[in-house]
Amino acid sequence: TLADVEAWCAYGMRGEHGGGKTARRVDTSGLLGWVMWHDEARPVDGQDPDPHVHAHAVIAHMVRGVDGQWSTPGNGGREFHRHIEAAGALVRARLRAKTTAMGFRWERQPGGRVWELAGVPAELRVVFSKRQGQIHRLLQRLGFEDPRTASTAHAKVAAARSREGKDTAGTSSAQASPSTTVHGGDLRGSWRRQADDAGHEPGMVVAAARPGGPDDGPTIGGPGDGPTPPPPPTPGVREVAERIFAPDTGLTAHNKVATQPRVLAAVLDELPGVADVADAERLAAAVVALPDGPAVPLPAAGGRERGPAFQTHPERYTSADIVEAERTALALTEHGLRHGADEGLAVVDGEVTAMAIGAFEAAKGFALSTQQRAVVERLTGAGHGVDAVIGVAGAGKTTLMAAARSAWNVAGFTVRGATTAAAAAQQLAAESGIPAQT
């Protein structure tokens, strides 16, 4: 996987951006760095760390170009951030492929997106997920009744705040056995005891998780122990496309734009396993090129359907449902502008608006300016369906929305707000009384 990351991100840049100029991409001798292997997770609350085989790759922020010059890799490191999801998904997909060849089986719950090792009881996953439990407990203390509803940003904050030092977590080579416990004992023995205490004999769990031998050879119970269950089938192109661009859960459920690296990551997560990233890249290319499929190439500035030419995987996409939603919004806006006077949306009688403004001014102890009053009257009386209020910071846009909200409420309308940032939603709700969310 690091070799693939190197192919994606190890290029250098020469020249400059701006003033009509664009820096050019140059090949380099590759990345410099090293890998640290860990057999276990961070310890939690002084307990023995859970089993968790993973690696940390440390990459120097410099590469040597074919011209002999040194520079930062991947457009100042930005290319690494663009491909971080794809790299993680590729590691997981390769792990599934290798362990499947060893006789293990992976599964996903109906409608789920996460692959789990089949045969491992759910309660045992909890026993050996102490770090996740620690993060969830902190999220609950921060006000999330169900920690699973927390945003990625909130989860990262909770993880950082609850993180303990690594001085008690073992580090080893890829071939080494697990290190000792924080109390000086054998970690493998500690893990077996924890499984036994949870009511699950480790040997039985392994047998359930690995019903077949390597490459579908004899099962753990022997040649006569029954047929090995087949691995999950590889989904077809249209099935993958519909899943990764699903309106409610797909790539554009919360973002209008999906870059090619994110598409590749989503495709990898749909596969039961992959040995070669080229296979996943071919499937990703087929997904976005599917006739009448959900992916829509997205033009960039100047009509280009790609990002900057120096990027790896520069293509950008949106989805058909996003395009349809935008067309619907535009059509409703145009209709409202043409027919607002006759078929107005959320129209409030002028006298009701005047009374609402008067009540608002009396409650606040100040009067709206002539311009602010005109804006409130337009918002509540024009019936356009879509209107824009443009003003500099501090001009009173949120203040006048409180007056408009009062008029709409008196007329029997339900008022809700939507913002692009959580902080803006909180401010809108606090200053205007309009319940808002992102």
Q: What is the pLDDT of residue 179?
A: 55
Kindly tell me if the per-residue pLDDT of 354 is higher than 60: yes
Residue 140 falls in which region: left (phi positive, over 0), alpha (psi -120 to 50) or beta: alpha
Least confident of 210-219, 270-279, 295-304, 373-382: 210-219
Residue-level pLDDT at 300: 56
Asked whether the predicted pLDDT for residue 220 surpasses 50, the reply is no
Convert the chain into a string of H (helix), E (strand) and C (coil). CHHHHHHHHCCEEECCCECCECCEEECECCCCEEEEEEEECCCCCCCCCCEEEEEEEEECCCEEECCCCEECCCCCCHHHHHHHHHHHHHHHHHHHHHHHHCCCCEECCCCCCCCEECCCCHHHHHHCCHHHHHHHHHHHHCCCCCHHHCCHHHHHHHHHHHCCCCCCCCCECCCCCCCECCCCCEHHHHHHHHHHHCCCCHHHHHHHHCCCCHHHCCECCECCCCCCCCCCCCCCHHHHHHHHCCCCCCCCCCCCCEEHHHHHHHHHHHCCCCCCHHHHHHHHHHHHCCCCCCEEECCCHHHCCECCCCCCCCEEEEEHHHHHHHHHHHHHHHHHHHHHHHHCCCCCCHHHHHHHHHHHHHHHCCCCCHHHHHHHHHHHHCCCCCCCCCCCCCCCHHHHHHHHHHHHHHCCCCCCEECCCHHHHHHHHHHHCCCEEC
Q: Which of 209-218, 303-312, 347-356 has the lowest mean pLDDT?
A: 209-218
How sure is the predictor about 284, in pLDDT bands with cuts at 50, 70 and 90? very high
Among the ranges 118-127, 158-167, 225-234, which has the highest mean pLDDT value?
A: 118-127
- Position 129, amino acid: S
pLDDT band at 223 (very low <50, low <70, confident <90, very high): very low
Cα gap 253→261, rounded to integer Å = 17
Label residue 257 by pLDDT band (50, 70, 90). Answer: very high
User: Residue 182: is its pLDDT beyond 90?
Assistant: no
Average pLDDT along the chain: 87
Q: Is the per-residue pLDDT at 224 higher than 90?
A: no
pLDDT at 396 > cutoff 90:
no
pLDDT number for residue 189: 92
Mean pLDDT for the stretch of residues 180-206: 85
Q: What is the mean pLDDT of residues 408-424?
A: 91
Query: pLDDT > 70: what percent of the chain?
Result: 89
Cα dist from 156 to 115, 149, 159, 240, 246, whole Å: 22, 13, 5, 29, 26
The pLDDT, as a whole number, for residue 420 is 85
pLDDT at 62: 97
pLDDT tens-digit series, residues 52-72: 999 999 999 999 999 999 999
Residues 286-339: pLDDT tens digits?
A: 999 999 999 999 875 444 555 677 899 999 999 999 999 999 989 988 888 887
Q: What is the pLDDT of residue 174?
A: 43
Q: At what angle do helices 397-410 and 422-432 cross, to 10 degrees?
A: 60
**pLDDT class for 341, splitting at 50, 70, 90?**
low
pLDDT number for residue 180: 56
Q: Is the pLDDT assigned to residue 250 strictly greater than 60?
A: yes
Comparison of pLDDT for 422 and 35, the residue scoring more? 35
* Amino acid 58: pLDDT: 96
Q: Determine the pLDDT at residue 74.
A: 96
Confidence of residue 185 (pLDDT cuts 50, 70, 90): low
The reported pLDDT for the residue numbered 45 is 83
In tens, the pLDDT along 153-174 reads 788 888 888 876 554 444 443 4
